[in-house]
């Protein structure tokens, strides 16, 4: 599927929609989810035009995907989640709950999350 340059994350990156940013570097931006699923719920997005979902990642994206996970872990530690634990989530497609077609990762923590599977 073609990338939509008007998706909500692209608009956040262009500052057309406000966000409560907690982290920024040259490659990624992290902000608080407006409808949190946990006491701490952050979203990490690439600044560049990324694949639209994990299913579109290719071998050429290994570096991006690895840096996304490493950056998310660093942000979780900065948010005080490393000691008690946190969850990193990549949703892929409608049935998994992906609502924005812009590769992104959720950081969930701040309290017991319960089992996933």
Residues with Cβ within 8 Å of 90's Cβ and at least 6 positions away in sequence, in order, are: 54, 103, 104, 105, 106
User: What is the fold, at CATH topology level, of the domain defined by 8-109?
Assistant: HIT family, subunit A (3.30.428)
Mean pLDDT of 88-104: 90
Element (H, E) at 86: strand 86-89
What integer is the mean pLDDT of 61-72? Answer: 97
Q: State pTM to two decimals.
A: 0.94
Q: Is the pLDDT of residue 41 over 90?
A: yes
What pLDDT, on a 0 to 100 scale, did the predictor assign at position 6? Answer: 94
Query: In the structure, what pLDDT confidence band is assigned to residue 115 with cuts at 50, 70 and 90?
Result: confident
Active site residues: 104
* Annotated domain spans of the chain: 8-109
Position 117 scores a pLDDT of 66
The region of weakest confidence among 22-36, 39-53, 91-105 is 91-105
Exposure of 64 in the CB half-sphere (CA atoms within 13 A): 21
């Amino acid at each position: 599927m073609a990338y939509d340059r008007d998706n909500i994350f692209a608009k956040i990156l262009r500052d057309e929609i406000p966000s409560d940013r907690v982290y920024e570097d040259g490659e990624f931006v992290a902000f608080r989810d407006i409808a949190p699923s946990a006491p701490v719920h952050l979203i990490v997005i690439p600044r560049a035009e990324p694949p639209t979902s994990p299913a579109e990642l290719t071998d050429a994206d290994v570096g991006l995907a690895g840096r996304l996970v490493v950056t998310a872990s660093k942000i979780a530690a900065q948010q005080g989640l490393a000691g008690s634990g946190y969850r990193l989530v990549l949703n892929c497609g409608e049935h998994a709950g992906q609502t924005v077609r812009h590769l992104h990762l959720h950081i969930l923590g701040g309290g017991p999350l319960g089992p996933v599977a």
